[in-house]
Structure 1
Amino acid sequence: MRGDGDGWVMSDGGGHFWGRHGAAGLLLRAPGPDGTFAVLLQHRAPWSHQGGTWGLPGGARDSHESVEEAAIREAAEEAGLEAVQLTVRVSMVTHEVPGWTYTTVIADAAEQLATTPNRESSELRWVAEHAVADLPLHPGFAASWDRLRTVTADMPLLFP
Protein backbone atom coordinates (compact mmCIF):
# COMPACT_ATOMS: atom_id res chain seq x y z
CA MET A 1 0.00 0.00 0.00
CA ARG A 2 1.33 3.41 -0.92
CA GLY A 3 1.46 6.09 1.74
CA ASP A 4 0.48 9.73 1.35
CA GLY A 5 4.15 10.74 1.34
CA ASP A 6 5.01 9.24 -2.03
CA GLY A 7 5.66 11.96 -4.58
CA TRP A 8 8.20 14.53 -5.70
CA VAL A 9 8.69 17.98 -4.20
CA MET A 10 10.27 20.68 -6.35
CA SER A 11 12.47 23.19 -4.56
CA ASP A 12 12.57 26.88 -5.40
CA GLY A 13 15.88 26.17 -7.16
CA GLY A 14 14.26 23.55 -9.42
CA GLY A 15 15.63 20.46 -7.65
CA HIS A 16 13.37 17.43 -7.24
CA PHE A 17 13.25 15.64 -3.89
CA TRP A 18 11.35 12.43 -3.08
CA GLY A 19 8.81 12.61 -0.29
CA ARG A 20 5.88 15.02 -0.05
CA HIS A 21 6.45 15.29 3.73
CA GLY A 22 10.20 14.89 3.61
CA ALA A 23 12.19 11.69 3.75
CA ALA A 24 14.12 9.64 6.29
CA GLY A 25 16.78 6.96 6.21
CA LEU A 26 18.23 4.54 8.73
CA LEU A 27 21.95 4.51 9.52
CA LEU A 28 22.12 1.16 11.30
CA ARG A 29 25.35 0.33 13.14
CA ALA A 30 26.47 -3.03 14.51
CA PRO A 31 29.73 -4.38 15.93
CA GLY A 32 32.34 -5.42 13.40
CA PRO A 33 34.81 -8.27 13.85
CA ASP A 34 37.68 -5.86 14.60
CA GLY A 35 35.92 -4.01 17.43
CA THR A 36 34.86 -1.05 15.30
CA PHE A 37 31.41 -0.81 13.80
CA ALA A 38 29.89 -1.59 10.45
CA VAL A 39 26.91 0.13 8.85
CA LEU A 40 24.18 -1.36 6.70
CA LEU A 41 24.22 0.12 3.19
CA GLN A 42 21.88 -0.33 0.26
CA HIS A 43 23.14 -0.56 -3.32
CA ARG A 44 20.31 1.20 -5.11
CA ALA A 45 18.63 -0.61 -8.01
CA PRO A 46 19.67 0.74 -11.43
CA TRP A 47 16.14 1.96 -12.25
CA SER A 48 15.81 4.01 -9.04
CA HIS A 49 16.73 7.68 -8.56
CA GLN A 50 20.55 7.80 -8.31
CA GLY A 51 20.55 4.07 -9.14
CA GLY A 52 23.85 2.24 -8.85
CA THR A 53 24.96 4.28 -5.84
CA TRP A 54 25.21 3.20 -2.21
CA GLY A 55 23.12 4.81 0.49
CA LEU A 56 20.85 4.13 3.42
CA PRO A 57 17.57 2.24 3.42
CA GLY A 58 15.03 5.03 3.46
CA GLY A 59 12.38 6.94 1.64
CA ALA A 60 9.34 9.17 1.80
CA ARG A 61 7.79 10.03 5.14
CA ASP A 62 4.02 9.81 5.44
CA SER A 63 2.13 12.69 7.05
CA HIS A 64 1.23 10.71 10.19
CA GLU A 65 4.77 9.38 10.83
CA SER A 66 7.65 10.65 12.91
CA VAL A 67 11.02 10.56 11.16
CA GLU A 68 11.97 7.56 13.32
CA GLU A 69 8.81 5.68 12.33
CA ALA A 70 9.42 6.44 8.65
CA ALA A 71 13.06 5.30 8.74
CA ILE A 72 12.19 2.07 10.54
CA ARG A 73 9.28 1.36 8.17
CA GLU A 74 11.52 1.93 5.16
CA ALA A 75 14.21 -0.35 6.65
CA ALA A 76 11.54 -3.04 7.11
CA GLU A 77 10.36 -2.63 3.50
CA GLU A 78 13.79 -2.41 1.88
CA ALA A 79 15.90 -4.65 4.12
CA GLY A 80 13.47 -6.91 6.00
CA LEU A 81 14.47 -5.51 9.40
CA GLU A 82 12.14 -5.45 12.39
CA ALA A 83 11.80 -2.54 14.80
CA VAL A 84 12.47 -4.81 17.81
CA GLN A 85 15.96 -5.52 16.41
CA LEU A 86 16.96 -1.83 16.52
CA THR A 87 17.66 0.76 19.20
CA VAL A 88 17.27 4.31 17.93
CA ARG A 89 20.02 6.61 19.23
CA VAL A 90 19.52 10.00 17.59
CA SER A 91 17.94 11.67 14.56
CA MET A 92 19.45 14.54 12.63
CA VAL A 93 18.45 16.53 9.58
CA THR A 94 21.18 15.92 7.03
CA HIS A 95 19.72 17.76 4.05
CA GLU A 96 17.27 20.63 3.93
CA VAL A 97 15.75 22.87 1.29
CA PRO A 98 12.71 25.10 1.82
CA GLY A 99 9.71 22.79 2.22
CA TRP A 100 11.67 19.51 2.39
CA THR A 101 14.10 17.71 4.72
CA TYR A 102 15.97 14.43 4.80
CA THR A 103 16.52 13.10 8.30
CA THR A 104 19.04 10.39 9.12
CA VAL A 105 18.03 8.18 12.04
CA ILE A 106 21.02 6.55 13.71
CA ALA A 107 20.31 3.21 15.40
CA ASP A 108 22.28 0.30 16.80
CA ALA A 109 21.80 -3.46 16.51
CA ALA A 110 23.41 -6.11 18.69
CA GLU A 111 24.85 -7.88 15.63
CA GLN A 112 25.09 -7.58 11.88
CA LEU A 113 21.53 -8.65 11.12
CA ALA A 114 20.48 -10.78 8.19
CA THR A 115 18.70 -8.75 5.52
CA THR A 116 16.21 -9.37 2.74
CA PRO A 117 16.42 -6.86 -0.10
CA ASN A 118 13.34 -5.74 -1.98
CA ARG A 119 13.21 -4.63 -5.62
CA GLU A 120 14.67 -1.21 -4.74
CA SER A 121 18.00 -2.81 -3.83
CA SER A 122 20.61 -4.47 -5.98
CA GLU A 123 22.33 -5.50 -2.76
CA LEU A 124 22.41 -4.86 0.97
CA ARG A 125 25.80 -5.03 2.67
CA TRP A 126 27.37 -4.44 6.07
CA VAL A 127 30.33 -2.13 5.43
CA ALA A 128 33.09 -1.24 7.90
CA GLU A 129 32.66 2.45 8.75
CA HIS A 130 36.19 3.24 7.56
CA ALA A 131 35.38 1.77 4.11
CA VAL A 132 32.08 3.55 3.44
CA ALA A 133 33.64 6.48 1.55
CA ASP A 134 35.40 4.03 -0.80
CA LEU A 135 32.06 3.14 -2.42
CA PRO A 136 30.24 5.20 -5.07
CA LEU A 137 27.82 6.89 -2.66
CA HIS A 138 24.46 8.49 -3.32
CA PRO A 139 25.27 12.22 -3.55
CA GLY A 140 23.09 13.16 -0.57
CA PHE A 141 24.61 10.46 1.61
CA ALA A 142 28.12 11.35 0.43
CA ALA A 143 27.53 14.98 1.41
CA SER A 144 26.46 13.99 4.93
CA TRP A 145 28.82 11.05 5.63
CA ASP A 146 31.66 13.05 7.23
CA ARG A 147 29.20 14.75 9.58
CA LEU A 148 27.47 11.46 10.43
CA ARG A 149 30.82 9.78 11.02
CA THR A 150 31.82 12.55 13.43
CA VAL A 151 28.56 12.17 15.37
CA THR A 152 28.85 8.38 15.55
CA ALA A 153 32.51 8.58 16.61
CA ASP A 154 31.36 10.23 19.83
CA MET A 155 28.58 7.67 20.31
CA PRO A 156 29.78 4.25 21.48
CA LEU A 157 27.79 1.28 20.31
CA LEU A 158 25.16 0.10 22.78
CA PHE A 159 26.15 -3.50 22.05
CA PRO A 160 29.95 -3.74 21.98
Structure 2
Amino acid sequence: MLHDGNGWSAGPGDTRCWGRFGAAGLLIITPGRTALMQHRAEWTSFPLTWGVPGGACDSHESPEATALRETAEETGLREHQLRILDAQVTTGPYVADPNRPELAGGWQYHTVYALAEEELQTFPNEESLELRWVPLADVASLNLLPAFAESWPEVRAHAEKLLEQA
Protein backbone atom coordinates (compact mmCIF):
# COMPACT_ATOMS: atom_id res chain seq x y z
CA MET A 1 0.00 0.00 0.00
CA LEU A 2 1.55 3.31 -1.07
CA HIS A 3 2.69 5.49 1.84
CA ASP A 4 1.45 3.11 4.55
CA GLY A 5 4.89 3.46 6.15
CA ASN A 6 4.45 7.16 6.90
CA GLY A 7 4.29 7.68 10.65
CA TRP A 8 6.45 7.70 13.75
CA SER A 9 7.92 4.70 15.56
CA ALA A 10 9.62 4.34 18.92
CA GLY A 11 13.36 4.91 19.04
CA PRO A 12 15.99 4.79 21.78
CA GLY A 13 15.58 6.97 24.86
CA ASP A 14 12.01 8.02 24.08
CA THR A 15 13.01 9.40 20.68
CA ARG A 16 10.86 9.01 17.61
CA CYS A 17 11.98 7.54 14.30
CA TRP A 18 10.20 8.31 11.02
CA GLY A 19 8.80 5.24 9.27
CA ARG A 20 6.36 2.69 10.65
CA PHE A 21 8.32 -0.12 8.96
CA GLY A 22 11.77 1.44 9.16
CA ALA A 23 13.44 3.80 6.72
CA ALA A 24 16.08 3.79 4.00
CA GLY A 25 18.29 6.33 2.29
CA LEU A 26 20.39 6.29 -0.86
CA LEU A 27 24.05 7.24 -0.73
CA ILE A 28 24.89 7.96 -4.36
CA ILE A 29 28.63 7.96 -5.01
CA THR A 30 30.68 8.62 -8.14
CA PRO A 31 34.01 7.23 -9.37
CA GLY A 32 35.39 10.71 -8.60
CA ARG A 33 34.63 10.01 -4.92
CA THR A 34 31.79 12.47 -4.47
CA ALA A 35 28.43 11.84 -2.82
CA LEU A 36 25.06 13.49 -3.37
CA MET A 37 24.07 15.25 -0.16
CA GLN A 38 20.70 16.76 0.73
CA HIS A 39 20.28 19.89 2.87
CA ARG A 40 17.01 19.23 4.65
CA ALA A 41 14.21 21.80 4.58
CA GLU A 42 13.12 23.66 7.71
CA TRP A 43 9.85 21.75 8.09
CA THR A 44 11.40 18.24 8.00
CA SER A 45 12.57 16.22 10.99
CA PHE A 46 16.11 17.34 11.87
CA PRO A 47 15.73 20.50 9.79
CA LEU A 48 18.69 22.36 8.29
CA THR A 49 20.95 19.33 8.56
CA TRP A 50 22.57 17.37 5.75
CA GLY A 51 21.91 13.75 4.90
CA VAL A 52 21.02 11.58 1.95
CA PRO A 53 17.71 11.30 0.11
CA GLY A 54 15.44 8.77 1.75
CA GLY A 55 12.41 8.15 3.89
CA ALA A 56 9.89 5.73 5.32
CA CYS A 57 9.65 2.18 4.00
CA ASP A 58 6.19 1.07 2.96
CA SER A 59 5.07 -2.36 4.17
CA HIS A 60 5.63 -4.01 0.78
CA GLU A 61 9.00 -2.43 -0.04
CA SER A 62 12.58 -3.56 0.26
CA PRO A 63 15.10 -0.99 1.51
CA GLU A 64 16.42 -0.68 -2.05
CA ALA A 65 12.94 0.03 -3.44
CA THR A 66 12.30 2.61 -0.72
CA ALA A 67 15.61 4.38 -1.30
CA LEU A 68 15.08 4.51 -5.07
CA ARG A 69 11.47 5.77 -4.73
CA GLU A 70 12.40 8.46 -2.23
CA THR A 71 15.43 9.52 -4.27
CA ALA A 72 13.29 9.91 -7.39
CA GLU A 73 10.82 12.05 -5.43
CA GLU A 74 13.47 14.22 -3.76
CA THR A 75 16.10 14.57 -6.51
CA GLY A 76 14.51 13.68 -9.84
CA LEU A 77 17.11 10.94 -10.36
CA ARG A 78 15.75 7.66 -11.75
CA GLU A 79 16.75 4.06 -11.23
CA HIS A 80 18.19 3.66 -14.76
CA GLN A 81 20.75 6.40 -13.95
CA LEU A 82 22.15 4.47 -10.97
CA ARG A 83 23.60 1.08 -10.15
CA ILE A 84 22.80 -0.35 -6.72
CA LEU A 85 25.99 -1.64 -5.10
CA ASP A 86 24.90 -2.76 -1.63
CA ALA A 87 22.59 -2.15 1.32
CA GLN A 88 23.22 -2.44 5.04
CA VAL A 89 21.57 -1.59 8.34
CA THR A 90 23.30 1.49 9.71
CA THR A 91 20.93 2.41 12.56
CA GLY A 92 18.91 0.16 14.81
CA PRO A 93 17.33 -2.17 15.46
CA TYR A 94 15.41 -0.29 18.12
CA VAL A 95 12.73 -1.71 20.34
CA ALA A 96 9.44 -1.55 18.50
CA ASP A 97 6.56 0.50 19.81
CA PRO A 98 4.71 -1.83 22.24
CA ASN A 99 1.41 -0.30 21.14
CA ARG A 100 2.05 -1.33 17.52
CA PRO A 101 2.45 -5.11 17.19
CA GLU A 102 3.18 -4.81 13.45
CA LEU A 103 6.56 -3.40 14.45
CA ALA A 104 7.58 -6.45 16.46
CA GLY A 105 10.87 -6.75 14.55
CA GLY A 106 12.04 -3.30 15.61
CA TRP A 107 12.86 -0.18 13.67
CA GLN A 108 15.89 -0.10 11.34
CA TYR A 109 17.48 2.39 8.98
CA HIS A 110 19.14 0.98 5.87
CA THR A 111 21.80 2.80 3.89
CA VAL A 112 21.61 1.76 0.26
CA TYR A 113 24.72 2.46 -1.82
CA ALA A 114 24.45 3.34 -5.51
CA LEU A 115 26.93 4.33 -8.19
CA ALA A 116 26.36 7.19 -10.63
CA GLU A 117 28.95 7.31 -13.41
CA GLU A 118 29.13 11.10 -13.03
CA GLU A 119 27.70 13.97 -11.00
CA LEU A 120 24.18 14.01 -12.41
CA GLN A 121 21.89 17.02 -12.59
CA THR A 122 19.28 16.99 -9.83
CA PHE A 123 15.87 18.56 -9.36
CA PRO A 124 15.12 19.06 -5.65
CA ASN A 125 11.59 18.97 -4.29
CA GLU A 126 10.23 20.85 -1.26
CA GLU A 127 12.05 18.54 1.16
CA SER A 128 15.43 20.00 0.18
CA LEU A 129 16.98 23.41 0.56
CA GLU A 130 19.81 22.19 -1.65
CA LEU A 131 21.25 19.09 -3.29
CA ARG A 132 25.03 19.13 -3.65
CA TRP A 133 27.76 16.77 -4.85
CA VAL A 134 30.33 16.73 -2.03
CA PRO A 135 33.76 15.03 -1.93
CA LEU A 136 33.61 12.05 0.45
CA ALA A 137 36.48 13.61 2.41
CA ASP A 138 34.38 16.75 3.05
CA VAL A 139 31.03 15.21 4.06
CA ALA A 140 31.88 15.20 7.79
CA SER A 141 32.45 18.98 7.69
CA LEU A 142 28.74 19.54 6.95
CA ASN A 143 26.14 19.95 9.70
CA LEU A 144 24.99 16.34 9.40
CA LEU A 145 21.76 14.80 10.65
CA PRO A 146 22.86 13.36 14.05
CA ALA A 147 22.33 9.66 13.27
CA PHE A 148 24.04 10.09 9.89
CA ALA A 149 26.99 11.85 11.56
CA GLU A 150 27.33 8.95 13.99
CA SER A 151 27.30 6.35 11.22
CA TRP A 152 29.36 8.34 8.69
CA PRO A 153 32.82 6.81 9.47
CA GLU A 154 31.44 3.30 8.86
CA VAL A 155 29.34 4.40 5.87
CA ARG A 156 32.27 6.22 4.27
CA ALA A 157 34.62 3.27 4.74
CA HIS A 158 32.08 0.96 3.11
CA ALA A 159 31.51 3.41 0.23
CA GLU A 160 35.26 3.63 -0.39
CA LYS A 161 35.50 -0.18 -0.42
CA LEU A 162 32.61 -0.41 -2.89
CA LEU A 163 34.26 2.15 -5.18
CA GLU A 164 37.45 0.08 -5.22
CA GLN A 165 35.43 -2.97 -6.28
CA ALA A 166 33.26 -1.17 -8.86
TM-score in terms of structure 1 length: 0.92
Question: Does the 8 Å contact 1:108/1:157 carry over to 2?
Answer: no
Q: What is the number of equivalent residue pairs in this alignment? A: 155
Residues 1:21 and 1:11: Cα distance change in structure 2 (over 3 Å): same
Match of 1:70 in 2: 66
| Alignment partner of 1:109 out of 116, 120, 124 | 116
Contact 2:29–2:159 under 8 Å retained in 1: no
Mapping 1:2-151, distance limit 5 Å: 3-11=3-11, 13-32=13-32, 37-96=33-92, 97-98=94-95, 99-151=106-158
Q: Which structure has greater helix proportion? A: 2
Q: Which runs of 5+ in 1 are unaligned?
A: none
Conserved? CA contact 2:71–2:77, under 8 Å: yes
**Partner Cα distance (1:52, 1:11) in 2:** 21
Is the Cα–Cα contact under 8 Å of residues 20 and 60 in structure 1 kept in the other structure? yes
Contact 1:133–1:142 at 8 Å: present in 2 too?
yes
User: Secondary structure of 2:47's match?
Assistant: coil
Kept in 1, the 8 Å contact 2:31–2:163? The answer is no
- CA RMSD, aligned part only? 1.6
User: % of aligned pairs identical?
Assistant: 50
Secondary structure of 1:155 counterpart: helix
